[in-house]
Each structure stands twice: as structure tokens, then as C-alpha cells.
Structure 1
Amino acid sequence: MRQPTLALLSLLASLPLCLPAWGISFQTRLEKVEWQVEGDQFECRLSQPVTDFGAGEFVRRAGEQVTFRLQARERWLGTGSALLLAAAAPWQPGRGDINLGVVTVGAGEVPFNSTEEQGARLLTGLLEGRSPLVRHRTQHGGEGLEVRLLPVKFRKAYDDYLGCTAKLLPVNFDQVRQSSVGFPGGGVDLDPQAKAKLDIVLTFLKADPSVNRIQLDGHADNSGNRLTNRDLSRRRAQAVMEYLKANGVPAENITMRFHGERYPLVRNNSEANRAKNRRVSILLDRAPEVQSTAPDAPVPSS
């Protein structure tokens, strides 16, 4: 990217924030632009404060791709559809803006979140010297309004952001809180795929000790009689529980239930469907107690 000269930077920094074409424009003066990187293994954030408005922020949660959003200290933006652009910098004559489509603006401190595709394209644009730009209208009166982030000082912050994202967990809580492992072969032993799924759950549990309740629900298909199916579902749940305990999960954090063939995922009308019904469902919770939703009484895990 061709860097602007000091003289051009000084000229651009002296431009007023109110532009006739758009009524109100929020943009930090060039000499005061800063990028901030924050995060942990659950979420990484790359943001630029915007003078008198709030901030523009890239957010990447564990298990997801990046999205872009604004944080507004005041309710400047009206509801509706705002235009999102990767805008050419003023010091790059001859380059046009890239229209990335619209975002739906609502109320609140974070009026919108972009799609993952829009977020990734805005990051690429910043590396090319482009500015994330939101064009909309004000909350009252419908006057044109734009919010612009500037690409200066971006490379170092982006490298720090990449360092943060490299440490993200493979999943976030919303993705892992409800899962299941299958027993497609009809037995009660965990196969490699089941163990791999459980290892992902274990990775999250070790990272977030506030998740202190695990409910296991064993299931079977309708191939055998009712008593046999109920015992199979119990032994499957038991196998999952023993694997979790062997990898450091306290027994008192686990509740185990088994239901036989009573709650199929799909109709037991083919071998493929019966394989889907042979499973153990896993529910993670941060609450002090796991509420029972099925009529079967919990079975102690010890």
C-alpha cells in the first residue's frame, strides 16, 4: 500500500467531520487513530475508537469467523438497512469503493453485526488500505450519516489480532452446549469419532470451569425388546460418563439418564435411521442444577 505523505496526512487531519454530502460524518483525526486488540481463548476483538461516536470492532468468537460491528455510545443510527463499504482512501485517487451490501440496523449499543463474509472482506480491504465505511441515516430526522474507520497503523494491530485468533478454542459455548455421540454399530463402546467429539467437549470444559454441570441422556433404537433397549441406552451413557471421568471431569458434575427407544431422533424405519437413534446426548450448563425435562428419574453418577 502506498503510504500518504506527512503533508497530505496533515491536510486530511484538518478536514471537518461534517461533510455536505452526508450531513454527519464520524471519523477520528489521522494523528489520533489507534487500533486496540483484546481477547482470550473464547473471543478476539480488533477495534478502532471513533471520535464522538464509539468504536468500530471486528469480533471473532471461538469456532466462528470474523464479523464487523459498530458500538455506539449514543443512538445515532436509525433502524433499517445501512450500506457497508470497503472505501478507497482519500490518498488513493482512481480507486473506487467496494459495495459489500447492507446490514440490518436495530436499537441498542451494538446496532448491527455484519455477516462473516462482509467481516472478512473488510479486513482484506484494510490490508489494501481501504476504510470500513457505514452509510445510513440518523435516528431523528433522517439526515445522512456515515461512520468511517481509517487504515493507518493497521498492520501491527492485525498481526497482534492474528496472534490472538491462533489461541482460540475450536468451539464456543453455544456450539458445544448441546451435542451427541453416536453408536452406529449398535454396541456400547466409543468409536474414534465419538472420542474425538468428546475430546472437543473436554477441551472446552478445561478452559471454562464455570461449566459445571453435564447431563448425559442415553438412547437406543427399537431393534430389541424394551428392557434390552433400556439397558443398551444405560450402558452407552455409562461409557460416555466413564470417558469424561477418566479425563478429569468430577463425577459429581455429571448426571446420567437413559431412555431406551422412547425418544428417537428419526423414525426407526431403516437401518440408517436406527443408527442415528443409537446415541448419547450431552447437555452442558453453568446453572447450579440441571433441570429435568424428561420423566425418567436421574441416575446417580457414582
Structure 2
Amino acid sequence: MRQRYLALLSVFASLPAMALTFQTRLESIEWTVEGDKFECRLTQPITDFGSGEFVRRAGEQATFRLKAYNSMIGGGSATLLAAAAPWQPGRGDINLGSVRIGSGNVLFNSSQVQAGRLISGLMDGRSPVVRHSSGDGRVSEIRLLPVKFSKAYSDYQGCVAKLLPQNFEQVKQSEIGFPGEGIDLDAQAKAHLQVMLEFMKADPTVNHIELDGHSDNSGNRLTNRELSRRRALAVMDFFKANGIQESQITLRFHGERYPLAPNKNAANRAKNRRVAVRLERVAPTEQPAPQATASAGSAKAS
């Protein structure tokens, strides 16, 4: 370990005089893992600067972000590197492209591809490095070290395994299809609804469901409206059977009035036989009263 530290010192001593480098001493390196069902974070604090962390949200791959206590480097772009370790001669740095430095606590978020390559590099003994050059020629370099990374990454993977399948942006709305003229939920529809249900149970702030039933134009308008109502009821019954209160659900049915695609062929008509499901966060004082309304031929249109 001492030889590695001396090798690091020799590398940094060879940097230009105007270079400003931030990194934590080898003996003080630590990685922390935090998270829940919605997000996992793998972080290395950087002495006198802030931290570098990998963040993985439910339903997504990880990104890498650099956080600063205050704005120590200017704006513009910086180069992101998976830098070779000084004690492994003959290996070059891997340039992962540029990142845009912003203001505030989080200086940038990398792409998912960049983060994946940084993680691979850390497993191979490489260091994530952010190198920024200012207009006056000053170079700032922020470096994380791979010390103790393997154990921390194993803990991080344990957190990732518990993430929900999707995050709120991905799960908040869905179109539930109905084959033929049916009104029953098939296996695919139930699987989609189960993901939404799991998210609601994990996040109590997501506490309201909007259901809008639709049909194609195959039958007459009264028949189509009734089909759209019964499809919306089938979805509502699924949620109620799984612990969601009817007071948390608003149900509307529209018949053939709002097609997703022109009813000109079988494929388009299949798209229009659906229930649109939308999850919402509603404050208790704003909770809408339960209702079931039709958008055609009723006094209370949606």
C-alpha cells in the first residue's frame, strides 16, 4: 500500500504547476452504500471538495455524479477519464468523453454508458477522474480511488437487487389493452397493473388512480360506451381486490370518442380497446370524491 501511495505522489508531482488536485488520502478512503426501493447510491467522499457517487434509480441503469460543497471549479466542459493506476505501468487512461459542468451542489450527471465504464474501470483498478481546464490555463482534477471498491460494490449490488422494477416516471401511466370485444383482464394486463400496485404500496404518497375506459367503433355508441365502462370497472376491481380503496379511484368511460389511432383496421381498433391508468399524488384535502362518469350522453362529462 505504501508503494502505491508513493507512486501516486510521484504522478501528482509531475502535473503542471497550475494544476489543482482533489482526492482523499489512501488511508482515509471509504465507500458508503445507501438506498431504498427507489434509489441506490455508492459514494466516495472527496476531502475538501465533496463526493463522487454512482446513483441508480429503479428501472434505470446507474449514472455518475460529482457533488461539491461549493463551486470550486468553473463552468464549461470537463473530461471524464477512467485513469490507469500509477502502479500499473504501460496502461493508458481511457477517455470517456466530456461532461458539462453546472452550478450548484451537483456539478454534473454522466450518461449511463459513462457510468458503466467507470464501474468497470474501478473493478480493474482504475480511478474515475474529472479534469477541467479554465480559460486562464488552470487545470483542476478531481480523482476517486479504487481502494475498497470491490466490497462496497457487492453491497451496492445487494441494494440494486431490491429496487422496484420501475420508477414513478415510468410507472405513473399505462394503457391496458383488451383483446377482441372482451372486458376481462388478460395475463399481460394483470402484470402491468401489478407493477403499478407494487409502486403504490412502496410509496404511500402515490395515493390516487385515474381510470379512463375506451372502446373501438365496432358496435353502436351505447354498446361501445358500456364496453368502455365495464373495462374500466375490471381495472378498478383489480386494484380493490389488492387493497386499494374505491375512494382512491376516479373512473370515467368514453366509448369510442377518443381513439388512439383511426379505426380503419384491426390493428388500430385493438389499440383503441383500452383503459388508460394514471397514478397521482393527491394531498388528503384534495382527494376527489369517487365517481363513475361517461363522456357521452351524460350530464357530467369528463
TM (normalized to structure 1)?
A: 0.89
Distance 2:125 2:148 in 1: 10
1:168 equivalent in alignment to 2:163? yes
Count of residues paired in the alignment: 293
Amino acid at match of 2:244: V
1:85 equivalent in alignment to 2:87? no
Look up the match of 1:282. 277
Look up the match of 1:268. 263
Secondary structure of 1:92's aligned partner? coil
Cα contact 1:12–1:30 (8 A) shared by 2: no
User: Deviation digits for residues 124-146 of structure 1, max 9, x if unmatched?
Assistant: 110000001111235x8563222
Distance 1:58 1:266 in 2: 41
| Deviating more after overlay: 153-162 vs 108-117 | 108-117
Distance 1:134 1:96 in 2: 16
Look up the match of 2:154. 159
Aligned-pair distance for 1:201? 0.8
Cα contact 2:32–2:43 (8 A) shared by 1: yes
Instruction: Assess, with a 3 A threshold, how the Cα gap between structure 1 residues 14 and 31 changes in structure 2: closer, same or farther.
Output: farther
Instruction: Assess, with a 3 A threshold, how the Cα gap between structure 1 residues 22 and 35 changes in structure 2: closer, same or farther.
Output: farther
1:224 equivalent in alignment to 2:219? yes
Of all paired residues, the percent bearing the same amino acid is 63
1:42 equivalent in alignment to 2:48? no
Cα contact 1:183–1:189 (8 A) shared by 2: yes
Secondary structure of 1:93's aligned partner? coil
User: Deviation digits for residues 195-234 of structure 1, max 9, x if unmatched?
Assistant: 1111111111111111111111111112222222111111
1:204 equivalent in alignment to 2:207? no
Aligned-pair distance for 1:93? 1.0
Distance 1:9 1:182 in 2: 61
Aligned-pair distance for 1:279? 0.8
Q: 2:67 is matched with which residue: 68, 71, 88?
A: 71
Aligned-pair distance for 1:262? 1.7
Secondary structure of 2:197's aligned partner? helix
Amino acid at match of 1:230: R
Gaps of 5+ in 2: none
Secondary structure of 1:220's aligned partner? coil
Distance 1:150 1:26 in 2: 11
- Cα RMSD, aligned residues only: 2.5
Matches within 5 A, 1:56-205: 56-138=52-134, 141=136, 143-205=138-200
Cα contact 2:248–2:287 (8 A) shared by 1: no
Secondary structure of 1:25's aligned partner? strand
Instruction: Assess, with a 3 A threshold, how the Cα gap between structure 1 residues 283 and 258 changes in structure 2: closer, same or farther.
Output: same
Look up the match of 2:209. 214
Instruction: Assess, with a 3 A threshold, how the Cα gap between structure 1 residues 116 and 298 changes in structure 2: closer, same or farther.
Output: farther
Aligned-pair distance for 1:295? 9.5
Cα contact 1:38–1:46 (8 A) shared by 2: yes
Cα contact 2:67–2:106 (8 A) shared by 1: yes
| Deviating more after overlay: 264-273 vs 57-66 | 264-273
Look up the match of 1:25. 21
| Deviating more after overlay: 141-150 vs 129-138 | 141-150
Cα contact 1:78–1:142 (8 A) shared by 2: no
| Deviating more after overlay: 13-22 vs 42-51 | 13-22
